[in-house]
Chain A
Amino acid sequence: MPKDHGIGASSKRREDVRFLSGRGVYTDDMALHGQTYAVFVRSNVAHGRIKSINTANAAKMPGVLAIFTGEDFKDVGGNPAGWLINSRDGTPMREPKRPVLAHGKVRHVGDAYAAVIAETYNEAKDAAQQLADDSDIEELPAIVDMKKAVADASNRVHDEIPDNLCFDWGWIEDNRAAVDAAFKSAPHITTLELVNNRLVPNAMEPRSSIGEYFPGTGDYKLTTTSQNPHLTRLLVAAFVLGIPENKLTVVAPDVGGGFGSKIYHYGEEALVLAASRKLGRPVRWTAERTESFLTDAHGRDHVTKIEMASTKDGEILAIRTETLANVGAYLSNFSTATPTFLHGTLMAGPYKVPHVYVNVKTVFTNTAPVDAYRGAGRPEATFSIERIVDKMCRELNLDPFEVRRKNLIQPDQFPYTTPVGLVYDTGNYQATLDKLIELADVAGFDKRAAASKAKGKLRGMGLSTWIEACGIAPSNLVGVLGSRVGLYDAATVRVNATGNISVMTGAHSHGQGHETVFAQVVAEKLGIPESSIEIVHGDTSKIPFGMGSYGSRSLAVCGSAMSKAVDKIIAKGKKIAAHMLEASENDIVFADGKFSVAGTDKAKSFGEIAFSAYVPHNYPLETLEPGLEETAFYDPANFTYPAGAYLCEVEVDPETGKVDIASFTCADDFGHVMNPMIVEGQVHGGVGQGIGQALLENTSYDENGQLLTASYMDYAMPRADDVPFYTVDHSCITPCTHNPLGVKGCGEAGAIGSPPAVVNAVIDALHRGGHSHVKHIDMPVSPARVWSAING
């Protein structure tokens, strides 16, 4: 019988009660006495020189309290990049200042160059419009296309950066000669040029921030839509505004989705704090949906040429890639890590590839900043690899299942050192592939294809065997690689006097279900009911300094910290029990929520120990401290490496080019699973986003840098009827070898593994339907693109 409690149980998500009944409390829900409204004046040109901003008329308008321009912030810091990348020649990347408000130049449509604070939202809107009318911005030619940006040195996003290049990175540079040699002698070379399409994150809740300044104490409070409040506090306090960290509290309350876009610090957060200091009143701002499209950090946007050297029977000998990665107009906090260390290091995939070399040129353009978005670099790597493996199979007329099986790292080869700098600790890629073939009924495909044909449809199947590095990540390693932050996490377990527990976590839940799962883990370890445990997150005045949630890290990193803190609680409980039971600490055992003296019936319940800790009437205070509260920091020894195999079946309507997902099957290895229901939900959501990228989502700027897809009228999000009922399995388990729970993380897997499965399936369908001239279709594989490919 499945467990109904603790680790491995599909406990219902406790947070859903408030979310589904409208009782969640999001930033924009908070009404504050004396609050004022900020509206930003944003550039409507992609590239322009600010000649003048005349604030006089706007300042006189009803309700207007203050106006800020870039001039007001020119002497404070910029929003920094969190990761230093060096170019192949050893020179450091170019880091232009990212100001709170644009100063001198505007660099993308939506770039804020002024802000109005007024008594009401409508008054602020009216004055912002006036200010826009009274601004003289000389439009400059827009730099949109990456290839042109690099080629044309006369037109610069940042005047001081002559070739619009942030860096030219090689990974690993020492591999290059061997890779080139492998290609020279290769029996077969497959080449593919592809675009990894730019995506708008589209969190359901738009970004929102409230700044408060308390003149009596000089304290500040920022309530904001953040995935990691401590990081935001560090950035806005220490780097931008120069506020001591101890004078600023950052609270990220209920947050309605992030997908990466709310990892980063944005200028609006600094503005509302600075404005609140000036006015002595709360200042609030919530993005309109159009602002979200224009200014949330976008995802992906790579143009890649990938080459694969192989034998004629499909053994991979070498991989070589050249990628142009768009960072947009400014460096968002992790924008330089995403196309490099989250992408290049994965370019061996799950395969025994002896030689790999990756080159990434990262380019400034007059578009919104681009940064990590669910999967972050790893979907780009996986798409490139899985598409070219499929193309190689087609060119050599080989079976894609067998070619993958031949190249997959074998179970007895772990730990496995790849040629691109990672050590995969454990895995069994054959097992997930075998499980997939069984679950997806690959044997029955021909029958299903015949049924599709009878309806006038072309059926195809697409395979993807993927791996990711997540649980981000070991500070020792990322420090060597250029990270300017550590990536540990922390948790405090506070046992209250009556035996219930508050757990304060550095991880932040913005939909994932931490409040449920973390309680399950603690309940299991302490043998007490889940309902006695409260998970507290998102408030820097309550939680220990943690690094938040992204990169499928919450359970693997923060969960491990929490597990360590619980171990400390048990150790302390043993000390207390030894005192109460008049036994040696070494003789105390803890099981099923009881501390007992080994070999006797003498025992104290967890509740008795907790109560005693806070009512220490006869404690030997020299050797036993009162209280039962422990904090642990955890910094992992390695990334975790979830992996799996996905199979997508599609039906293509050859007359219209419409692709329907007929089935989607996932066999994943996430290590130990704490809550199967939540894991399945994460995979469903991730695959849904991957299907969105593969078939629907397209972020399109025109040559003038105007965003053509700035609303849901033109930006296609996946809807319920665009995705199938998924078959999801996570029974293949190779526990992570280096964290206490043996967990690997599941949040990004679906978005990483699914896009190539979808595109491979479409190409397969077209080939089976006789359209073998179609070698590749760029995402999104829209009906029009499929029809054009068929008829091209």
Chain B
Amino acid sequence: MHNFDFVKPSSIAEAVKALSTEGAQALSGGQTLTPTLKQRLAAPTVLVSLTGIAEMQGVCLGSDGLSIGAATTHATVAKEAAAHYPALAALAGGIGDPAVRNRGTIGGSIANNDPAACYPAGVLGSGATVVTNRRKIAADDYFQGMFTTALEEGEIVTGVTFPVPQKAAYVKFNQPASRFALTAVFVAKFADGVRVAVTGASNNGVFRWSAAETALSGNFSAAAVEGLTVSSDGLIGDLHGTPAYRANLIKVLTKRAVAAAH
């Protein structure tokens, strides 16, 4: 690890200011950044911790949905969102292992936008709104491809607001080594339609399976998906699965998520 300075601001404004330093890097739970630093693959001059900012912490149910501070850990979401949005709480409770869940944060996860991460599926599948220090961004506009988001220079995620669906479920098929999603599907049924988000499968990161959304909006049952086919074009092929295998998983897991939704 290279040497760096470390600051832990207590407000969003201070954090934004600290991040304007040349070579500054935001640090949330550090579950991706710390290993990168240890391997000397990044050499920031200053790390700006976002975990000391009160307004970026916590889970709160309001009139516009369930708001989660960006620096809220997965473990906290798993516990505190359980009564309000059980599918999302279950998603958070299934990320990594206890050590990861007690450090990793929702903001860190979606700012990184790993193509196999869980949270992007929950955020996109819920049609959530990503709140930053500058604006509100619809999930459909926020995720822009593998490790790519709508965030601009100096912009940090401060929270995410989730509309709470009537029913939802997240079904993940683990990559055997990392236990990231080899493929995972988040299905959410709202009064005005169904959203289906897929992570782990595409070279372009998380995406919505629109054909399944249409079919399920008409008939919310596993049978509705049965007749659909998933193209393997653009899907990830690696040691753990071919594009065709992932295409199969998308369909299988979508059916299972529909069956499990509550």
> Which residues of chain A are within 8 angstroms of B241 by Cβ–Cβ distance?
783-784
> Which residues of chain B are within 8 angstroms of A655 by Cβ–Cβ distance?
248, 252
- Asked if A714 is at the interface of the complex by the 8 Å CB criterion, the answer is yes
Q: Given the known A-B contacts A698-B239, A709-B239, A782-B240, are A788 and B245 also in contact in the complex, defined by CB atoms under 8 Å?
A: yes
Question: Which partner residue on chain B sits nearest A719 by CB separation?
Answer: B179
Task: Please measure, in the bound complex, the distance between the C-alpha atom of A787 and the C-alpha atom of B177, giving whole angstroms.
Answer: 18
Task: Please measure, in the bound complex, the distance between the C-alpha atom of A717 and the C-alpha atom of B245, giving whole angstroms.
Answer: 22
> Which residues of chain B are within 8 angstroms of A715 by Cβ–Cβ distance?
177
Encoded as 1 (CB less than 8 Å from any A CB) or 0, chain B from 235 to 258 comes to 000011110010011001000000
- Asked if A662 is at the interface of the complex by the 8 Å CB criterion, the answer is no
Tell me the interface secondary structure of chain A in the complex.
Answer: loop
Question: Which partner residue on chain B sits nearest A712 by CB separation?
Answer: B177
Q: Given the known A-B contacts A125-B40, A655-B252, A656-B252, are A784 and B177 also in contact in the complex, defined by CB atoms under 8 Å?
A: no
> Which residues of chain B are within 8 angstroms of A714 by Cβ–Cβ distance?
177-178, 239-240
Encoded as 1 (CB less than 8 Å from any B CB) or 0, chain A from 715 to 734 comes to 11100000000000000000
- Asked if B176 is at the interface of the complex by the 8 Å CB criterion, the answer is yes
Encoded as 1 (CB less than 8 Å from any A CB) or 0, chain B from 1 to 31 comes to 1110000000000000000000000000000
- Asked if B209 is at the interface of the complex by the 8 Å CB criterion, the answer is no
CB of A736 to closest CB in B, whole Å: 39
Q: How many residues of A contact B (CB 8 A)?
A: 26
Task: Please measure, in the bound complex, the distance between the C-alpha atom of A712 and the C-alpha atom of B2, giving whole angstroms.
Answer: 23
- Asked if A737 is at the interface of the complex by the 8 Å CB criterion, the answer is no
Q: Given the known A-B contacts A655-B252, A656-B252, are A713 and B178 also in contact in the complex, defined by CB atoms under 8 Å?
A: yes
- Asked if A624 is at the interface of the complex by the 8 Å CB criterion, the answer is no
Name the interface residues of A124-156: CB closer than 8 Å to any CB of B: 125, 129
The one of B3, B176, B182 that contacts A696, using a Cβ cutoff of 8 Å: B176
Q: Which of A657, A696, A716 has the most CB of B within 10 A?
A: A716
Say whether A783 contacts B176, CB under 8 Å: yes
Task: Please measure, in the bound complex, the distance between the C-alpha atom of A712 and the C-alpha atom of B96, giving whole angstroms.
Answer: 13
**Number of interchain pairs (Cβ within 8 Å):** 50
CB of A658 to closest CB in B, whole Å: 8
Say whether B252 contacts A784, CB under 8 Å: no
Q: Which of B1, B178, B239 has the most CB of A within 10 A?
A: B239
> Which residues of chain B are within 8 angstroms of A695 by Cβ–Cβ distance?
176
- Asked if A410 is at the interface of the complex by the 8 Å CB criterion, the answer is no
Task: Please measure, in the bound complex, the distance between the C-alpha atom of A712 and the C-alpha atom of B248, giving whole angstroms.
Answer: 25
Say whether B242 contacts A788, CB under 8 Å: yes
The one of B40, B176, B178, B245 that contacts A787, using a Cβ cutoff of 8 Å: B245
CB of A601 to closest CB in B, whole Å: 64
Question: Which partner residue on chain B sits nearest A121 by CB separation?
Answer: B1
Task: Please measure, in the bound complex, the distance between the C-alpha atom of A782 and the C-alpha atom of B248, giving whole angstroms.
Answer: 15
> Which residues of chain A are within 8 angstroms of B239 by Cβ–Cβ distance?
698, 700, 708-709, 714
The one of B1, B40, B240, B249 that contacts A656, using a Cβ cutoff of 8 Å: B249
Question: Which partner residue on chain B sits nearest A722 by CB separation?
Answer: B176
> Which residues of chain A are within 8 angstroms of B1 by Cβ–Cβ distance?
122
> Which residues of chain B are within 8 angstroms of A712 by Cβ–Cβ distance?
177-178
> Which residues of chain A are within 8 angstroms of B178 by Cβ–Cβ distance?
712-714
Q: Given the known A-B contacts A125-B40, A656-B252, are A782 and B176 also in contact in the complex, defined by CB atoms under 8 Å?
A: yes
Say whether B177 contacts A656, CB under 8 Å: no
Question: Which partner residue on chain A sits nearest B179 by CB separation?
Answer: A719
CB of A633 to closest CB in B, whole Å: 45
> Which residues of chain A are within 8 angstroms of B190 by Cβ–Cβ distance?
none
Say whether B40 contacts A784, CB under 8 Å: no
> Which residues of chain B are within 8 angstroms of A788 by Cβ–Cβ distance?
242, 245
CB of B38 to closest CB in A, whole Å: 9
Encoded as 1 (CB less than 8 Å from any B CB) or 0, chain A from 776 to 792 comes to 00000011100110010
Pairs across A and B, CB under 8 Å, 22 listed: A122-B1, A125-B40, A129-B40, A290-B39, A655-B248, A655-B252, A656-B173, A656-B249, A657-B245, A695-B176, A696-B176, A696-B177, A709-B177, A714-B239, A714-B240, A717-B177, A782-B176, A783-B173, A783-B245, A784-B241, A787-B248, A791-B248
Beyond A700-B239, A791-B248, 20 extra complex contacts between A and B, CB < 8 Å: A129-B40, A290-B39, A655-B248, A655-B252, A656-B248, A657-B245, A658-B173, A695-B176, A696-B177, A712-B177, A715-B177, A716-B176, A716-B177, A782-B240, A783-B182, A784-B241, A784-B242, A784-B245, A787-B245, A788-B245
Q: Which 5 A-B residue pairs are closest in the complex by CB-CB distance?
A: A716-B177, A716-B176, A784-B241, A713-B178, A655-B252
